[in-house]
Structure 1
Amino acid sequence: MSALNRFLTVAVLLLLVVTTAGKSQQAKTQENETVLFAIEMNPAGQATIEIVARIASGKFITAPYSCDTNDALATQFEAKYLGTGSRYRLIFGGAAAGTAAVQPPKENFADVAVEVKSRVRLSGLTMALATNSQTLGSQAGARREPSDIEWAVAKDLVRRVFREKGVPAASLERLRIDALAVSVLEKNGKPALIGTATIERADKTGLEHSLFFIAQRDVSGTGFAPVLVEYAQAASEIEGKEDFFVDHVDVDGDGVDEVVTRLVFYENYRFRIFKKKKGEGIWQKVFETETMGCL
């Protein structure tokens, strides 16, 4: 065998070793990957599950999703994680709160149904997260319904924010808070108000203004100050959108939970994830799914 042939043989063998090792590592990574799901209760009282994101090294990664049933990658991913019998840990208030098990497909039911076993009562806009991770959401949960005083504080807060955004006084008369929760997002134990407020159009054909907010206990310890404000104004009746709180969980282990929301707009929706900027009191969006809903 010539020197050239020996060199080529060695090169091919090395390439095979590297390729095989790479595929093996990729398979291992996929096998052990963490997936985050959203759990909600539909109007008929059936709990459903959807994939929000994959997680790797504390970062969120888009999961394969497609309305095309011929999309092999999306179909394979859904079959792996949304197959009948798949069981996941329920996360509510950032903590483990039970289980969610995927049920067999139902006739004339497009969503993926789950059986939820939990002390938590999910309904309407009270949603939860789920995961295949055995370590996420291990701390004590603190999510609860707001008190009458907290409702009043939230209404004053959103009214002030809407005014700052230039919303007319006449429109403020139509202000309503569609969802409000109280939970603890940081290790400091301070409560946070997390909610959605809207103002309907005068002709009642849709939303004119919407607001998703997180407000945390201020330095005085007696009031709440907004740390995240997501405001939207709709130019027409079909352009309105609302962002609803799903739940929260500390993904990267920094002591501050990431907040997951469901952004609903005309006939479709997306999931979004917000995170507090390190060293600052500012929250920002760090992840958003593709448009979901297949309409």
Structure 2
Amino acid sequence: MKIGLWFRENRGAFAFAAVIMILGSFGYFALGAPAGMGGGTANGTMSKITGMTPAPVDPSVFDGITYKIAFTPDGTPKVFAHAKSNALANLSVAEGERIPDGNSMILGYTEGEMMKEEKLFAKPGDALTNFFGLDRIEIGGTFNRTGTFVDDLHFLSTHDYGNLTGEEGRVYSKLTPEKVPKLFYTLGVNETVPTKFVLAEGNMSGYSVHDLGGVDFYPIVLGANEAKMMREEGLFGTVGDEIRGFFGKNVVVVGVLETTNSSFDMMHVVPLNETQLG
């Protein structure tokens, strides 16, 4: 059954749920991810990371920020960012430096922990070679945990960001009115999905624009951690639920991704680019 028909036939059953979702939206937009909801958290380190108090993210970090996404040989997504140095200086560090120079990279907390577990580096100053098109790059430091997708990022200098092999414009971020950052991935309606893009719930056959009572609703697929948080906040309960006024658009949840232990766990996948979403 098409989502539009299914929703119209069951609209009355969702009246109460809609009220709960509206009330829950305050918590989602105002509070962001609760403790333990950082993207890309490996099962083996969840208890350690959950027990830490997240450090706040200065909203200025996202002023003019740009992203590139690249994929490892096994299809794991990696998100790289270029942000203003004076904004990064406001973030707290777990170790090392806050600002990447012309030959270094600053890691989000979760990404740094994962790369240590994989023996890619042990301490700031260690270097990686042949890293996504960069001949050599040092680990300059790691930020403290924020409980947001910042924990999964790799921050680069202007020079290294420009030389890194990756796709720009596919990933972007938006701030809620309360300045909580959210991460988005643009996937066209008929585009091929990435390798690690596997649904735990839903079906990509519903990934199209739906006419619900004469109103356009755009499809959205949620990362595992983001979906869990949004459910806890009452924004939606199950695949097929609609969310009105989501960054200026009406959306219907058509799927939830399997856990990837990567930035995809905090992602909102939509057929809308940065300028089309409010």
The structure showing larger relative contact order (alpha-carbon pairs under 8 Å, at least 6 residues apart) is 2
Q: Which has the higher helix share?
A: 2
Q: Which has the higher strand share?
A: 1
TM-score of the pair, normalised by structure 2? 0.29
